[in-house]
Structure 1
């Protein structure tokens, strides 16, 4: 089995490597190729990756290359984890929206749109090259904004599934609180990428006992603290929203916070500098503790599970993925990309049935789905007017004066990445 990671020079990659090493019985990788245009980063990350495999006794071979076509040739699955523009672009995404009084964040709102506009054309080019080289390969997308990027891939006819670590993070957290194995926790997880709610927490599988109310009753304070939302809000909602919902439920409070402290991008950039220095130490043969603060917790385990399921080697029968709606949520178009539990196998993903969704959540999903449709159109075809309409449709913007100001700033800060600008 050959797997290729595009964006293999990312500081995330040792997390992925650690998962491949630990879970080799689930996903027996024989060859792992790390592809990245940044030669220096690739050398540092590749060296650590080989040492991790060696320490854990993994027999697989790890190679590195800057040549995408060579890297994906013969791959059974290609994982995408790239950041167009790097941390410098993220820094911009998180700051210029604040000038208009809107949330500055890299995956949602105006910053998320900027990231989509930069990313979609690049990912589609990569996917076309994968298809020419190896049309049977699965593409697993971890590149944000996952929902929009996955929709672009599926719309272009690629064998693609989107992956996020929010659900597996909740699964692990709830398992600890309940004192059970993570494998025993099944989430009723519904929504769009970075716009999801846990409407049930079941023990043993999709038909198991729902213990969500018990979780909220006995551990509501701890869960609320992690989400940075008041506990009474969770009690009134009766569900556990993802932490990204705070941008919607406490927008003005978040804007004030973001404007009063260094950006997350600045923190991550400093962290990456230190991580790369550590990766260069020839004595380091495991992922450093600092990596846990970088983000992406449990990404490796989710990726292994999904790849194993798609390639027929095992994995959990049900996994939370980003996939086509196909009537699962009747209030959304069939070609919308939703994030739900699905059966995963070599033929792809099939969403499990979802009970009727409360209008409080369905309405926001429908609003953001409309934005994502407009955002993808802007990413594919360009044009100031398309950018403006996408911003006007986003519930974190929603006013024409804000949309006008944000459109100007988005284009000014991303001109080098926009072929039409």
Structure 2
């Protein structure tokens, strides 16, 4: 049977790798790029690998995406046998969370080039986007870079809440002491985030809108990520689907600068502006460039409540920062700088005062701190269960399940407690680079 000619071949060492590589498959489908998928092992089926690599170009393939875990020899072996571009995707491994896979693919000898993506699902998705970018150079029918960026932005910016979260995280990372958030129409028409942080130099404004550029990480910090934002995807993704104006003044400088983007394209050159300190980001007409996304937004009231919830989460993690949130002329939240988590919790919910128990436990270098309310204070929704890992708000079913189990003898099964718990784990024992929304983490030891 003759193999139908496709643009991209996706290969992986075993069936178990497909749970990661399916993200590359789905992205290629979304971009309308033809592809085939094969299970080919460098160790178990070396002859099949040799035959595939030697005949891939003849069969019409233009790019190979290779996923592998552990020793991760597959991408390099293929690259040594073909002149086609090879994109390597490190797959998670049980022992080292995929770090061994990443280093194995990266450290190819001179003359065996492999374009290496990040570990896991994000890397697989980005491999497909990179393949599309390469193919678009010689094929005008394939989505251009602007369209690719808009599709990729959907992973980062799902709704107005995503914009608010990303911009506040940037403000927190910038060392702000006060953050002001303004929204209109549940964030669809306008989202403004103003901070008094370190700000940006003139030369960094355009760099901030380039995908995967970040000043927050160097190679040595990749294993121990301490910043809330680190992927370099937020501003490019926001700009791809909205109209953005960014103004900033770096601390210690006398000038402020502004730049504007619409639908991923620069529309206002860098110009001087008036700003006393920090950064001012204005996002208008969210999803105007991808109007189909508007159909999936909830009501204005629901989207506004989602924003309130995420601001509460971030305000709880950064109690030493003041937060103001308003919708139109209506003040929704106002939190002053606090010196303790307990004080911030009492700001958020008055019932917390007088009904809370403090938690502070440590074992094997892992510390659990925070406060839990007495069972008499309970709610119909789980939105008052706040969990944090190393200062990062997360949604982890394992942690939430453990909290609910601890309360199950004291409150009805359809009620939820008010809990705020911070889990401090050694940075090299937790992976926060799981998904672009950064709400998920992987623990090295789930026990």
Taking CA–CA contacts closer than 8 Å with sequence separation of 6 or more, which of the two structures ends up with the larger relative contact order? Answer: 1
- Tell which structure's C-alpha radius of gyration is larger: 2
Which structure has the highest strand share of the two?
A: 2
Which structure has the highest helix share of the two?
A: 1
**What is the TM-score of this pair, normalised by structure 1?**
0.29
